[in-house]
Chains A and B, each alone.
Chain A
Amino acid sequence: MNIENILAKLNSTERKVLPNIKTHTLISELVKKCSLKEIEVTRAIQWLYNKKLVEIKSEIKEIILLDKNGKKYVNEGLPERRFLQATSRESDINEIQKLTSLEINEINICIGSLKKKAAIDIEKNGYLKIKLTKQGKNLLEKEFLEEQFLKKNFPITMLELNSEEKFSFESLLKRKKILKKETKKIKKISITNLGKKILKKGLSEKNYEDKLTHEMLKKGTWKGKKFRSYDIKINVPKIFGGKRQPYSEFIEQVREKVVSMGFVEMNGPIIELELYNFDALYQPQGHPARTWTATYKIKEPKAGLLPNKKILNAIKSAHETGGLTGSTGWGYNWNEKIASRLVPRAHDTAISPRFLSKGVKIPGKYFSLVRCFRPDVIDSTHGVEFNQLGGFIVGKDLSFRNLLGLLKDFTIEMTGAKEIKFLPDYFPFTEPSVQISAKHPEFGWMEVAGAGIFRPEMTEPLGIKEPVIAWGFGIDRLAMLKLEIEDIRDLFSQKLDFLRYCKKVL
């Protein structure tokens, strides 16, 4: 690059910094000299370096600093000084301790240090007695080497220490938090030959405009002016635009996909009647079939309002005797009070009986995609909350075979899997029941959905005579695959950078 070109690219801070490098080699010096901020100088030097006008050499220096106790001792004096002064009045160790109010560990250090200096003698006579030696008496009037050392103007570099000071430094460094040693990189800046040539040419700014301004355009003064060239390859500071949360977007897309398959969306309350979460799904009270999912309880409100008696009586007799459904029922006394209790919805299927009892179109396809709540142990496969996609199809001649057809379509649509298989399963409210697994190219067989034909004991009390085929997808697992997330908790990521940098395009 020729000199003219380089000159055209130099901005105002580079122009300020470059001439001063001749006399000043440290960034801290340049900051003062140019009256710029440190970040401005650092950047200018980086740019100059990119243009090969300066050289940067890093030197590693060891620096000594005062630590917490060191600062304290500078003000209060070293403990051994206090100790020495106390021994001139007392010899009983306990009395010395009282007088100096030093900690036991400090006392021990003092004894060690003063013995080394031959300033004290120790007598063990049941208890410790300290006696001042002649040298000790001398030292009462004289500064210790360590004391002299602590008077230095910190921070200091290792290189400036003479041999006496090194000795003091070593002995103080061994003690607790008096001194600390740090290594620091110091950058030394020097000017290159190219830089010198540029300086010779002169850095006059007259020929180049830094910025095109509103004023120039208004007055037309831009005409005939040259503009400083930019280094267009240089990194610019980051900004973050607005983005959707990936899991939220995924859910939205799934919802739209299911709707496009001819389904009507249902919704229900987060805090649900046990009636819909359990009883209307033919899950008997006080029976293990009711505890197949763990369920939260809430403190308040305890109970909600039950629907009309007609439905309640039909559910009651289905549970007790089978009612008109042709079933034996579960054979117990169904309790309306239990059904009126409120729980956080434990599965999306709780919504289905709400809609079935309100009257659905036949034939009809219905679905919901909602948050569910279960008190499971929270780990990489169990989140605090999870989303479930579920629903049903009601129609006169629907069969188990149709259910398998629906599941196959759904699974292929949702996962893109080429291979699927069906396994017998158990749900208290469906019979027959089935689980569907899909083969993932990397992870092998994965359970993706549970389904079945709703039991007549469930649908008939709600006024539905036709078969209802029902299904539910574990949507979180699918999202993890699509978003390449390994920990289910990351679906609700609380890490801003994960969301900012997430590259997954759905």
Chain B
Amino acid sequence: MTDPIEKDVANTIEVRGLRTQFDDFVVHDKLDLDVHRGEIIGVVGGSGTGKSVLMRAIIGLKTPSHGTVRVFGEDFYKSNEKTRLSVEQRWGVLFQGGALFSSLTVAQNVMAPIREHLHIEGELAKDIAALKISMSGLPAEAGAKYPSELSGGMRKRAGIARALALDPELIFLDEPTAGLDPIGAAQFDELIVNLKESLGLTVFMVTHDLDTLHAACDRVAVLAEKRVIACGPLDDVRQTDHPWIQEYFAGPRGRAALAAKAV
């Protein structure tokens, strides 16, 4: 097996002049965004600003009507199938509800990409699955359970375990802490930071959670008016003079999250 040609690029994700639309409804227009290698970027924005759509445009599920999206230096929408496949093996995606295959147990879910792409079966596949399940913070018993038997938080962890199956360099998280209790959410933040540090992951995270932004994100990108209106370290973004940003960070919850960080 040969290594796919891996371009050495500083920006893991590079979005230029992106325009996405549903019929006549334009979600993004002239949107630019860079995600550097090895950082955790948090994408925030009000409801309906297209955070999830942006994520879907980057991972190839929503074809942009204009502009380019480069991941690992490859323009996903213009490359051939082989390049696409190799790009897809280098990223992992956690959808909002976990999106686990309901007919498979958690361990089988994690083994599915290992079996398909690495052609690893048997004991080694089980060992890898057990490792990822443990790394995602699930107990070993969870491996034999079906997704319907898990709570929302456990389902997200199982989703992370599957996203990590192929040792991706880049991981997409769609609202990872939504619907988790504060303790679970804090553990999840810690898990993400841990994984990023030990595996050198780049993380693209769509979130609403101010605490997650403080606890986990290196940079924050704010979506509004169909584009990224501010992007940078949290402290810089907070200084931006835009009504939505001011309201978001200076509102009661924003201040509380900041106070919690200061302690």
Q: Are chains A and B native binding partners rather than an unrelated pairing? A: no
Residues of B within 8 A of A (CB): none
**Which A positions have Cβ atoms within 8 angstroms of B?**
none
